[in-house]
Amino acid sequence: MLDHGIKVNVAAERDDNSAYSPGKKTLGFGTGGVDDAEDAEIILHEYGHAIQDAQVPGWGDVAEAMAMGEGFGDYFAAS
């Protein structure tokens, strides 16, 4: 898990898109359609990326790791 706080921008962009920024160590949520910051599964999915980055800095720098990271985010949100 994370041993530090994480900054969150609940209106990072107008599109229906959310992301974890490993460089800034922040979460940003889109406001297109239903605000993503109001959807627990999206919040947990993106937080899953932050957990992976805390455990293995730089995780997701290659395509295979990115795919595994997306799968982990989905699994973390669903469980």
Instruction: Report the SS3 class of residue 10.
Output: strand
pLDDT in tens, the chain (79 residues): 788 899 999 999 999 999 999 889 999 999 988 899 999 999 999 999 999 999 988 877 888 888 999 999 999 999 9
For residue 44, list its beta bridge partners.
none
Where do runs of H (alpha helix) occur along the chain? 40-55, 63-78
Q: What is the pLDDT of residues 13-34, one digit of tens each?
A: 999 999 999 889 999 999 988 8
Structure confidence at residue 57 (pLDDT)? 87
The rounded distance, in Å, linking the Cα atoms of 2 and 50 is 8
CA dist., res. 31 & res. 53, Å (int) = 25
